[in-house]
Structure 1
Amino acid sequence: MSVTIKDIARQAGVSHTTVSRALNDSPLINEETKDRIRTLATKMDYTPNFSAKSLVLDRSYNLGLFFTTLSQGTSAGFFYEAIRGVNNVIQDRYQLIVKGIDDYTSFHSITRKSFDGIIVVSQSDDDQPFIDHATDKGIPLVVLNRPIDTPGVLNVISDEEQGAFLAVSYLIEQGHQRIALVEGRAGFKSAQNRKKGFERAMLHNRLTVNSNYRFPGLYDLESGHKAMQHFLTLAERPTAVFCCNDEMALGAMKAISEAGMLVPRDVSIIGFDNTVYAAYVTPALTTVHRPIEQISKEGATRLISNIENKQHETEQVLLKTELVVRESVRSLLNG
C-alpha cells in the first residue's frame, strides 16, 4: 500500500493540508516545518500522486517542453542540455512531457487541463501558430531560443549573431582571410542569426566571401562532413571554416582527417554552441558558448513562478554568448 499525505500528516501531527503545502514549498509554511515534513516523507518513501493532486486542485501537474522538431535539425547535444536545464528546475514537482511541434496535425489536445505550463524551444517562425494557440488557451508560456513579441509570453534568448561575429572576428585576428561557412538548417532562426554574424564580421574587416565558400548544412554530422569534402576539392581551399554548430564542426573535422590532413595545421575549424563533447575531441574544438542549459533553467524558473502566481508576463531576457578558445584554430600570423 503506497504512503499518502494523510499518513504523513498522522505521523507529523499536522493536518494533511499542511503536509500538502509543505511538499509544494508554499510560503504559508515555515521552513522548519517544511524540512521536518520533507524528511518524514523521504523516510516513509512517499511518492507524489499527480493524478490525485490533479483532481483535487484542478491542475494536471504536467509541463510541456516543445521543440520545433525532434526528427530533423535538433542536435543531440542541444536536446540534452535543454532537457537537463528544465529538469533541474522542476525536479519532482511536475511531470515533464517532451514533444515536437511538427508531430501535431491539430492542437486541440493542447489545453489548460493537459498542461499547467509550456516551454517552447522555438527554432522556426513556423512555430507561431502553436504559440498563438497556447496563449489563446490561457496556458502560461515561455519561449526560448527565438525572439518573439507575443503579448503575455516570456522570451529567453541568447545573442547568436554577436556570438558568430566574435567567432569569425577571432579567425580574422589569427590571420585568416579565406574563411568558409557551413550554414545552419534553412528556415531556422538560429541559422539566419549566425549567418548574419558571419557576414557582419567579414564586411567589418572588408573581406569578401567566395560563393564556393558557402555550403548549406542541416545541423548534423553528415552535412558538416559533406561541406568539408566540398571545400577540400577547391583549387584554393579555405584556411578556416566556421560551422554554425558543433556537430557540423565535428563532421568537418572527420572529413579533414579522412583526407590525410590535420586540424588546425591544414584547416582551422570553429563551431557554435559549446556542447558537452566540444572540449573532449582531438583537437579540442574552439567554439561559441551559447548557454543552452542556463537559458532552459531561466525559462523553467520563470514559468513555474508565473504558474504559482497566476501571472502572464511579457518580457524578453537576453543572455550573452562568449568565445571559448581551444585548439582547433591555427594562427597564420607567424608563418
Structure 2
Amino acid sequence: MAKVSIKEVAKQARVSAATVSRALSTPKLVNDKTLTRVLKAVKDTGYKPNRFGASLRTQKSGNVVVVMPDITNQVNAGIIRAIENEAMQAGYSVLLGDTQNIEARESHYGDMVTSGQADGILVFTPRIPFPVDENRQAFHDLPPLVNSCEEIPDDNINKVLIDNKAGAMAAVNHLISLGHKRIAAIKGPSFTPSTESRLVGYKEALNDAGIVIDDRYIITGDYGTDSGVVAMEKLLRLKNRPTAVFCFSDDMAIGAMNTLREYDFKIPEDISIMGFDDISYAKLMSPTLTTIKQPLEDIGRESMRMLLALMKGEQTTCKSITLPFELVIRQSTGPVPTS
C-alpha cells in the first residue's frame, strides 16, 4: 500500500501542509474547526506522521534546510559558508538542497520541514517550497522560513535582500560618468526576480541620462560564464557595437572578458566591462573587474540569525532587511573610446 503524504492530507482538509503539521504537533495553535477537519483527513487517508514530526512536542530535530538553485555558484558558496558558521554556533546542522530551479526538488526539501525532519528553512529561490493556504493572513501560518536573494513576492515572508535595482543603477551610472552612451546589458534568466530588478535599474539609469534604450543591446544569459561568452559574441556582431557592457553577474562578465581577449579587443580601451556580485575571482582577473559588491557573508549570517529567532519564538512579527551594496571600481572600466 502506497504511503500517504502530508500533502494528500492537506489537500483533503483544504489547508496547507504546514497547517497539518502544526495540527499534529501543536494542536493548541490551530482553531477547533480546522483541527477537526485535519484530524478527519488524517483518519480518512490513513496518514502516519513521520517519526520526527511525532516528536516535535518534546524535542527539535536540530536541522535546518537551505534551498539553493545552484550550490556550485560562487555567490551561493560564500553565503552557505556564513550560514553554516552561524548554524553550528547555535547547535544546528545544515541540510543543503541543490534544486537547479526545479520545483519538485524545492518541494522535496520543503517536506523535510513540514514532516519535522528540520526545524526551519532558508529559501534562496523565488517560490515557497510547500503548498500554501490561499486564505493565509499572516506569516504565523508558515513554518520558520526566511527568503533571500531571489525574492518571493509575498509580504508575509521574512526576507534578507539587497536592492538589486539600485545596484544596477549604480553600475550603469558609473559607466555613464565615464562618457559611455552605447551601454549593453547581459542579463540573467527572466524568471529570476534579481534579473528583473536589475533590468529595471539598467533601463531607469539610461532613461534618467536621456539615453535611448536599444533592445539589441540587451542579451539574455543564465548567470553562468558560458552564457557571458555567447552573449558577448552576439554584441560584437552588431554594426554599432557597445562601448560598455553591464553584466548582471561576475561570472558572465568573466565570460565576456574572455571573448574580448579572444578577438583581440582591449579592456577597457576598446570596451568597458562591469560586473555584479564581487566574487573572489573579480579582483584576480586581468584587468581586475569593476563590479557591484554583494555582502555575501552578511546575507548568509543575517538570514540564519533571523531563522534562529523565528525557531526560538523570539521574533513575533514579519521582518525584512535590505543590506547595503558597494560599487567597487577596478581596471575593467574606463573612459569611452575616442574613435
Identify whether the pair has TM-score above 0.5, normalized to the shorter chain: yes
In 2 relative to 1, CA 180–322 (structure 1 residues): closer, same or farther, beyond 3 Å?
same
Quote the Cα distance in structure 2 between the aligned partners of 1:238 and 1:249: 14
1:308 Cα shift?
2.3
Quote the Cα distance in structure 2 between the aligned partners of 1:178 and 1:233: 14
Instruction: Tell me if 1:117 matches 2:114.
Output: no
The SS at the match of 2:80 is helix
Q: Find 1:275's aligned residue among 264, 275, 279.
A: 279
Give the AA of the match of 1:81: G
1:303 Cα shift?
1.2
- Alignment-derived partner of residue 176 in structure 2: 172
The SS at the match of 1:130 is coil
- Alignment-derived partner of residue 9 in structure 1: none
Consecutive aligned runs of 4 or more in structure 1 exceeding 6 Å deviation: 133-137
Unaligned runs of 5+ in 2: 1-51
1:132 Cα shift?
3.6
Q: Find 1:323's aligned residue among 321, 327, 338.
A: 327
The SS at the match of 2:113 is coil
Alignment of 1:199-214 (within 5 A): 199-214=203-218
Q: Find 2:197's aligned residue among 193, 201, 219.
A: 193
Instruction: Tell me if 1:62 matches 2:63.
Output: yes
In 2 relative to 1, CA 132–322 (structure 1 residues): closer, same or farther, beyond 3 Å?
farther
Give the AA of the match of 1:130: F
TM-score by length of 2: 0.75
Quote the Cα distance in structure 1 between the aligned partners of 2:298 and 2:270: 35
Instruction: Tell me if 1:91 matches 2:84.
Output: no
TM-score by length of 1: 0.75
Q: CA RMSD in A?
A: 2.6
Could you tell me whether the CA contact under 8 Å between 2:278 and 2:291 is conserved in 1?
yes
1:113 Cα shift?
1.4
Quote the Cα distance in structure 2 between the aligned partners of 1:98 and 1:230: 36
Query: Deviation string for 1:270-294 (max 9, x for gaps)?
Result: 0001112111111110000111221
The SS at the match of 1:110 is helix
1:248 Cα shift?
0.4
- Alignment-derived partner of residue 165 in structure 2: 161
Quote the Cα distance in structure 1 between the aligned partners of 2:299 and 2:321: 9
- Alignment-derived partner of residue 33 in structure 1: none
Query: Deviation string for 1:76-135 (max 9, x for gaps)?
Result: 11120120121121125111011126325665443251111111113x3xx135384896
Equivalences, count: 275
- Alignment-derived partner of residue 241 in structure 1: 245
Query: Deviation string for 1:286-335 (max 9, x for gaps)?
Result: 00011122111111012112222364430111112221100000113888
- Alignment-derived partner of residue 74 in structure 2: 77
